[in-house]
Structure 1
Amino acid sequence: MGTAVDPDTLQAINAIESLKARYFRGLDTKDWSIFGSVLADDIDVDTTALGGTSVTGASNYVAALQRDYGTAVTVHHGHMPEIAITAAGAATGTWAVQVLLVRPDGKRLLSFGHDHDTYGIRDGRWVITGIKSTRLQEDQS
């Protein structure tokens, strides 16, 4: 038999799953207001494993994505979240991620990997405080 999980933990996990869903939806629909609303002001993002850079700050991250993907079609699917509450108001999560990127010139990238996230409560709500993206496979056409 499994161990019972208290309702507060379940509520936090549900809130974090919804948070990541809004992250992906905001990015893919280019709704930068929704996208920015799920990020901590001081977020740390590391995409060096994808050939990218490290970015600190929500406004810097949003600006980088607008520049790099604003005219591209992106489709992000996050699956199989492994979320752990690590302290009061803090959590980690690992998501299996599938990404389709179609550039305006028709070049395509299909990739599979993981997002390793940290989360925290700021101003009474969960936000993403860190993201480290890794990839297992990339196919370009």
Structure 2
Amino acid sequence: MDPDTLQAINAIESLKARYCRGLDTKDWAAVGSVLADDIDVETTALGGTRVTGASNYVAALQRDYGDAVTVHHGHMPEIEITAAGAAAGTWAVQVLLVEPDGKRLLSFGHDHDTYGIRNGRWVITGMKSTRLQADPS
């Protein structure tokens, strides 16, 4: 693999890590900073909706998870550079959600993301989450 491809993959892996950390620490500005302004997010497989736009998506995250404890782990990234300045990735994910009332949900599945270069840096341009297993307690 050539050095430019390796550098792009490394940047995308770091991007996803910053997204997860921002979400779990409720650093909404950090979450917004890794998203394309025109991001398209599909969460219908999780019981959610389709959201377009970074500000709309961050607002939905704040509403849905702002008072909850979340732990997002992304593993085994499969990242493919699809064109100059564009990529797609699939991540195995494990997510723990603890609601303020103590209800918990541990889920396992995949995130299917797209990435692009905007203003000279990689950002997430699309996200679709699917789950294979969800264990409430």
Normalising by structure 1, report the TM-score.
0.97
Amino acid across the alignment from 1:106? G
Larger radius of gyration: 1
Task: Give identity over the alignment, percent.
Answer: 89
Cα-to-partner distance string for 1:42-64 (whole Å, 9 max, x where unaligned): 00000000111000000000000
Q: Which residue of the other structure, out of 7, 10, 16, is the alignment partner of 2:12?
A: 16
Q: Deviations over 1:74-95 (max 9, x none)?
A: 0000000000000000000000
**Runs of 5+ in structure 2 lacking a partner?**
none
| Matching residue of 1:128 | 124
Residue 73, structure 1, aligned to residue 59, structure 2:
no
Superposition misfits of 4+ residues, deviation over 2 angstroms: none
What SS class does the counterpart of residue 100 from structure 2 fall into? coil
Task: Identify the residue that residue 110 of structure 1 maps to in structure 2.
Answer: 106
Alignment partner, residue 58 of structure 1 = 54
Work out the CA distance in 2 between the residues paired with 1:56 and 1:108. Answer: 28
RMSD of Structure 2 on Structure 1 (CA): 0.3
Q: Aligned pairs, how many?
A: 137
2:85 is matched by which residue type in structure 1? G
TM-score by length of 2: 1.00
Instruction: Return the alpha-carbon distance in structure 1 between the equivalents of residues 9 and 35 of structure 2.
Output: 17
- Report what 2:43 is aligned to: 47
For 2:46 and 2:27, how far apart are their aligned partners in 1? 23
2:55 is aligned with 1:26: no
CA distance in 2, matches of 1:106, 1:113: 23
What secondary structure sits across from 1:133 in the alignment? strand
Q: What are the ranges of 5 or more consecutive residues in structure 1 without an aligned counterpart? A: none
